[in-house]
Structure 1
Amino acid sequence: MDARFDGLLEEPTRSVVLAWLVTAVLVVLAVGHGLVGSYRWFVLTGFAVVIVVLPAAAFRDPCAMPPWPLLVLVLLPIADASAFGQSFLTAIAVYVAVAAVALVATVELDRFTAVQMSHSFSVALVVLVTLAVAGGWHVAQWATDVAVGTDYLLNDRSQDAANRMLMYDFAYAAVAGLLAGITFDRYFRSYSERVAGSPVASREPEQNSRSVPDPVPPLIRDRLDAPDALVRQFSQIMQAALAALLLFGLIRGDLTTVVNAGVALGITFLPAVLERDAKLPLEPGLVFWLTAAVFLHAIGSAGLYAVVGQWDSLTHTISASIVAAAGYAVVRAIDLHSDEVHLPTPMLFAFILVFVLAFGVLWELLEFAIDESAQLLGMQAVVAQYGLSDTIVDLVYDGFGAVVAAVWGSFYLTSLSQRIAGRFEGQRQ
């Protein structure tokens, strides 16, 4: 066995053998699903196998395997689907399997890579990965339906009925992710005690990983930067337009316009509150970015969503980029501030994608809950969903916004992350 794992894998060889036996059963089940045409379970089971064997393949060490009890958690729902076929319980089992795979992936990151995670951060990551995989899983099925002509999501149902089932699926995923997080909580505590002092447990981040130089080439910065005064003026113009839209909604008695414009206007004052109360100065460009996102959503809810087909996609992309930017800045600040958390740059990019997809799933659940509640109460819904395709396309554009923010985050959010980290440090002192 590779000396790198001498202190890590203190479990007897029998446990490693059990892990490989469970993996072999997963391979057999994957082949079985493929032979009978159950391609969704074939892909999910194959994906689980890849995640499980990745450390052994990367380190060329058959002993670099996740703990076998965690692999059993992956196996159980897949075996249930193999034995009982498609049923109500099988639909739930999908998300139990997704949560179990997310659990294994998080454990592998902690055990076999330079990633360092605190207890609470790890638990949160398990939940986020479960939600993100659930969202990505349905986007992939929708893409297959569109490109190949399969019928995985609609399944001879109307758009609204299929969207309702999608929301139920997301709810199952949220519950499964929470249970997986609790499971990881218990595993993390016992595992931390068992591997304390091992070479991998005491690994150090790569040198200079916490120093964050400005990566923006001067030519790009000079081309893209606008005068701060001009950016502030545009932000103020949009604030004034939101105030006018709020007044218009009040005069007409339009609840949707009033709520959306009022909330959007309130959000535009958030940067000023952060500067005043948290002493966290924000660049005018970031303030403009936030103001533009809520402004475009507010005027969309006032009527443009119905008139311009792609307006919803535009607002989702920009809003997702705001969520991703916030996630990037805060997580990077935690990375800079805490000795217990370290995320290499490639992992930061992956985390932003996971964070935004998970947030997108939660947002769709919130929209569904608001829409359903309004219908039950006989009220006008402030936000509403318009069928399965609308929800899936929203998630796709959420992903676009996440990529934009993840790429540009390293350019323009570095200084913000450093200031947040400084605030953390000041509060600790």
Structure 2
Amino acid sequence: MVSLQSLIGSHRLDALGAWVVTAILVGVVGRFAAGGAFDWAVLTATLVAVAVAVPLAARDLETTVPAEVLGLVAVPVLVRAFGGFPQLTPFLVVAGVALLLAVVLDAFTSLTMTPRFATVFVVVVTMAVAGVWAVGIYAADTLLGTAFLDGQTELMWDLVTATAAGIVAGVVFELYFDRSARIARLRASASAPSAAGRSGASLPGDGRHHRIAVRGLQAVLGAIAAFALVRGNVSLFVNSGGPLAITFLPALFRREYGYAMDTGLVLWVTVASTLHGAGALELYQAFGWYDSLAHAVSASLVAGVGYAVARAVERHSRAVDFNRGFRATFVVLFVLAVGVGWEILEFASGGLASVVGGEAVLAQYGTGDIVNDLVFNTVGALVVAGWSTAHFEGIAARLTGRVGRLAGGD
């Protein structure tokens, strides 16, 4: 498999093209600054800084990122400089910066990643940045009296646009990596992947007590689902029946795949599912803190999944190697990205309900609710990233090979 580091080399003609693009971007920074678009000036300057970091770190002006990659990343900057697509282009630039950052980290740190993982990283970072941006502008409007947001709908469309931009950029970069002659030559000489792994730590506690607690919580969810069915409440039934089904997944994995998940982790899954199912029974509306608690616990599981996927990819491929700091960062970015995706699902649910009638299956309660969800998703992610990743090593070992395609270009 190919490492991104292989993209960087000393090629005079390629370097000339890269420096020409960089010079154009420097001129665009001045254009934005002169026009009062300081946000765009800073964003473009960041892009320039990442591009210039490669020859500076290598101490060789002919060692640059590929000119075609830098040119591709510069396209949305130039489009915006001429007034086009003001909502879409910022997130396309963020995606480009994420790609260049991945190349720089791969080349000049202990991290290594393949082109395909880099495309996944680009999508995750773009969505995560959109979530951070949403929290930031809401905080500015609330604390500083600014007026960046016109309301919930505008915020949600910005998140949708950011997600679309990340996916489009990821697809474009993947096509480049698949069809580039440069990558093809590198793949021809790359070494084959290998699978390795070990079981991780399990959650502490007595298995018997865990199983009793799981059965009790499943009974609670079953009772809520039955009540919803009797009352004909579709929204409550979906929000309790779905989580109830999730609590039976560990048993399904054990029966179908021979994977016995640690009972403490099963209890963790069940607690998160029960918090959401019970919350749909008016608890979200009755207690403001309950929604924050449910999101933090659920996000901790999402963080664990993100960690397990990253570790499985890392174990699968010799061309992928992360350090502890990057794993923790990826976990937080992954949770932010999934949180943005969840908010989009809630937004879509409300839009669908307004078209076909009835109650939205997934509900939002205003801009403050969206931002609060993103903040407490991050809290849950930070807890796992800082203290609990070892509990997901067993899942990571099980996933090794199954998610290896994320890491490779094959």
TM-score by length of 1: 0.81
Structure with the bigger RCO (C-alpha within 8 Å, sep 6+) is 2
* 1:130 to partner: Cα distance: 2.2
* 1:8 to partner: Cα distance: 4.4
Residue 181 of structure 2 is aligned to residue 185 of structure 1: no
Change in CA separation of 1:44 and 1:382 when aligned onto 2, cut-off 3 Å = same
Residues 240-285 of structure 1: per-residue CA shift (max 9 Å, x gap)? 1111111222222222221111111111101111111111111111
Q: Using the TM superposition, name which of 400-409 and 108-117 deviates more.
A: 108-117
Which residue pairs with 2:79 in the alignment? 80
Which residue pairs with 2:204 in the alignment? 225
Which residue pairs with 1:364 in the alignment? 343
In the TM superposition, 1:413-428 aligns within 5 A as 413-421=392-400
* 1:92 to partner: Cα distance: 1.8
Q: Using the TM superposition, name which of 175-184 and 50-59 deviates more.
A: 50-59
Q: Using the TM superposition, name which of 170-179 and 380-389 deviates more.
A: 170-179
Residues 188-232 of structure 1: per-residue CA shift (max 9 Å, x gap)? 23232344689xx77x99xxxx77797x8xxxx9xx833222222
Change in CA separation of 1:67 and 1:303 when aligned onto 2, cut-off 3 Å = same
Which residue pairs with 2:407 in the alignment? none
Q: Using the TM superposition, name which of 48-57 and 350-359 deviates more.
A: 48-57
CA distance in 1, matches of 2:340, 2:54: 29
Unaligned runs of 5+ in 1: none
Q: Do the aligned partners of 1:256 and 1:383 also contact (CA within 8 Å) in 2?
A: yes
Residue 112 of structure 2 is aligned to residue 124 of structure 1: no
Q: Do the aligned partners of 1:127 and 1:181 also contact (CA within 8 Å) in 2?
A: yes
Which residue pairs with 2:159 in the alignment? 170
Residue 91 of structure 2 is aligned to residue 95 of structure 1: yes
Q: Using the TM superposition, name which of 320-329 and 62-71 deviates more.
A: 62-71
Q: Which amino acid aligns with 1:336?
A: R
CA distance in 2, matches of 1:55, 1:10: 11
For 1:342, what is the secondary structure of its paired residue?
Answer: coil
CA distance in 2, matches of 1:325, 1:127: 19
For 2:288, what is the secondary structure of its paired residue?
Answer: coil
Change in CA separation of 1:20 and 1:197 when aligned onto 2, cut-off 3 Å = same
Q: Using the TM superposition, name which of 31-40 and 127-136 deviates more.
A: 31-40
In the TM superposition, 1:384-395 aligns within 5 A as 384-395=363-374
Change in CA separation of 1:49 and 1:396 when aligned onto 2, cut-off 3 Å = farther
CA distance in 2, matches of 1:227, 1:188: 49
Which residue pairs with 1:9 in the alignment? 9
Q: Using the TM superposition, name which of 114-123 and 264-273 deviates more.
A: 114-123
Q: Do the aligned partners of 2:127 and 2:162 also contact (CA within 8 Å) in 1?
A: yes
For 2:128, what is the secondary structure of its paired residue?
Answer: helix
Change in CA separation of 1:114 and 1:368 when aligned onto 2, cut-off 3 Å = same
Identity %: 38
Q: Do the aligned partners of 1:8 and 1:195 also contact (CA within 8 Å) in 2?
A: no
Residues 76-132 of structure 1: per-residue CA shift (max 9 Å, x gap)? 333333443xx7x21122222222223323344455554444454333333222222
CA distance in 2, matches of 1:104, 1:311: 40
CA distance in 1, matches of 2:26, 2:198: 43
Change in CA separation of 1:238 and 1:34 when aligned onto 2, cut-off 3 Å = farther
Change in CA separation of 1:141 and 1:56 when aligned onto 2, cut-off 3 Å = farther
Which residue among 239, 262, 274 is the counterpart of 1:260?
239
Q: Which amino acid aligns with 1:23?
A: T
Q: Which amino acid aligns with 1:368?
A: F
Residues 39-68 of structure 1: per-residue CA shift (max 9 Å, x gap)? 432442233234333434444444443223
CA distance in 2, matches of 1:422, 1:102: 26
Unaligned runs of 5+ in 2: 405-410
* 1:299 to partner: Cα distance: 1.0
CA distance in 1, matches of 2:272, 2:188: 48
For 2:205, what is the secondary structure of its paired residue?
Answer: coil
CA distance in 1, matches of 2:232, 2:53: 58
* 1:361 to partner: Cα distance: 1.5
TM-score by length of 2: 0.85
CA distance in 1, matches of 2:65, 2:185: 14
CA distance in 2, matches of 1:7, 1:259: 48
Residues 391-418 of structure 1: per-residue CA shift (max 9 Å, x gap)? 1221122222222222234332223322
Q: Which amino acid aligns with 2:219?
A: A
